[in-house]
Amino acid sequence: MIERRLNEGAYRSVDTLYEDVKWMVHNSVIFNGGTSAITKDLRYLLKNLRMELYDLDSCACCYIHAYTRPELWFILPCPSPHLLVWAQLKGANE
Ligand SMILES: [Zn+2]
């Protein structure tokens, strides 16, 4: 469903995608049960999507750089200047 909607250009905002995944979780709870493997996988997807959207919402340019230029993303300039936030990612080398 998501792939079809992506190909159709139905997602005008990331919020619409997020709402679709929330509906999938809702429907899976009803049809498969709250503890089924499918529901657990969908909840995992929803949690990760929420984190990705949070990162994307912070700065879309930084988000794109993080995936396209992972070795340099934090030093590449963004069109709209913004504050730098330094944080150590979980699992990163110290
Ligand atoms: Zn940025």
Backbone angles phi, psi at 15, to 5 degrees: -60, -35
More confident residue, 45 or 90: 45
Tens of pLDDT, residues 19-33: 999 999 999 999 999
- Higher per-residue confidence, 60 vs 26: 26
At 18, which amino acid appears? Y
Host domain of residue 7: 1-75
Q: How far is the CA of 14 from the centre of ligand 1 (A)?
A: 18
- Count the neighbouring beta carbons within 10 Å of the beta carbon of residue 87: 6
CA atoms of 67 and 59, how far apart (whole Å): 13
Determine, yes or no, domain membership for 32: yes
Please indicate, yes or no, if residue 51 is contained in any of the structural domains: yes
Assess contact for 30 and 20: CB atoms under 8 A: no
Give 45's contacts (C-beta < 8 A, 6+ positions apart): 21
Residue 92, pLDDT score: 65
What separation in Å is there between the alpha carbon of 55 and the centre of ligand 1? 10
Any idea what the CATH number is for the domain that residue 10 is in? 1.20.920.10
Domain count across the chain:
1
Q: 43 in a domain, yes or no?
A: yes
Instruction: Give the pLDDT score at 93.
Output: 61
> Rounded to the nearest whole angstrom, what is the distance from the C-alpha of residue 85 to the centroid of ligand 1?
10
Question: Do the domain assignments include residue 90?
Answer: no
Q: What is the pTM of this model?
A: 0.74
CA–CA dist 26, 44 (Å, integer): 13
